[in-house]
Amino acid sequence: MSNQRPDETTLHAWVDGELQPESAAAVAQWLADHPDEAARMAAIQAQTASLQALHTQVLDEPVPPQLTRALRQPPIQWRWQHALAAGLMLSLGISAGFGLGYGASQQKMAVAQTGLTKQLPGFVREAAAAHAVYVPEKRHPVEVVAQQQAHLVQWLSKRLGVPLKTPVLEAQGFQLMGGRLLPGETGQARAQFMYEDMAGERLTLYVSVLDQQTTTASAPAAFQWSRNGTTHGFYWIDGQQGYALSADLPRESLQVLADAIYCQLD
């Protein structure tokens, strides 16, 4: 890859998943060679993931019947009469509405800012950023290949301070490619395992060891779903360990993989 820095438009298009695979891989390679810029893009991706995770359950709900009915065009006469009424109300209320509207806008902004404070756990944001950076890699997607699995597991277990396992996903069509050691947001050791199917689709399992305070504050009761563009994810906390599974797969397919991983790790 050329050492020429991609412009901001290209970098943000990469963050949003809007580049063609070849261009995305080139940008990912450039970021791998420029850790400071990679960290900046990872922060933007984490923020994007946090925003998109807000109220994601609403996206899967059916359209309410009252909204569907509202889309139907009313009779012409009804529209003509209401157009006159709307014009009259607009002329009478424009000055008063400005003041009220300004207050309402401020209130909505405060509500929105309050909602933004609810973010994904830190290890989930880390997982999303690491997935986006390393999955497009062609030559170096992993640090230690699957052929050295025993060494990989022993090494990462020692660095994280807990015994790790590499789930077997062959029944689901995925083979282990290998893994790598990564730093957390505050310097803790993290592990990333990468899998690939026959079609070249990749998924990553991100493993972190959490302190007691973090575990208590962010432990979900069950699998939690997250989404960043076309990348879907499930995350959960088991004891002191946090897991985040990421892939560009439908939610249902990823749920099957998450279940298989959870059963093996449990």
Provide the CATH number for the domain around residue 181. Answer: 3.30.200.100
Residue 138 has pLDDT above 70, yes or no: yes
250 contact partners, CB below 8 Å, separation of at least 6: 232
Mean pLDDT, residues 211-235? 70
Q: What is the pLDDT of residue 37?
A: 81
- pLDDT > 80? residue 87: no
Q: Look up residue 225 and give its amino acid.
A: W
Q: What is the mean pLDDT of residues 178-194?
A: 90
* Residue 109 pLDDT class (50, 70, 90 cuts): very low
The confidence score (pLDDT) of residue 202 equals 95
More confident site: 148 or 57: 148
Q: pLDDT at residue 35 above 90?
A: no
Considering the domain architecture, whether residues 126 and 248 belong to the same structural domain is answered as yes
Q: Which of 81, 116, 151 is the last residue of a domain?
A: 116
Q: Looking at 26-30, 49-53, 95-99, which range is the least confident one?
A: 95-99
Tell me how many domains the chain contains: 2
The answer on 217 and 187 residing in a single domain is: yes
Within this chain, do residues 126 and 98 fall inside the same structural domain, yes or no? no
The answer on 189 and 231 residing in a single domain is yes
User: pTM for this one?
Assistant: 0.56
**126 in the same domain as 105:** no
84-113 exposure pattern, b = at least 16 Cβ within 10 A, e = fewer: eeeeeeeeeeeeeeeeeeeeeeeeeeeeee
pLDDT value, residue 38: 79
Q: What's the confidence (pLDDT) of residue 114?
A: 34
231-238/224-228 β-pairing: antiparallel
Residue 225 lies in domain: 122-130+137-265
Statement to judge: residues 258 and 126 lie in one domain: yes
Q: What is the pLDDT at residue 63? A: 62
Place of tokens 């359209």: 63
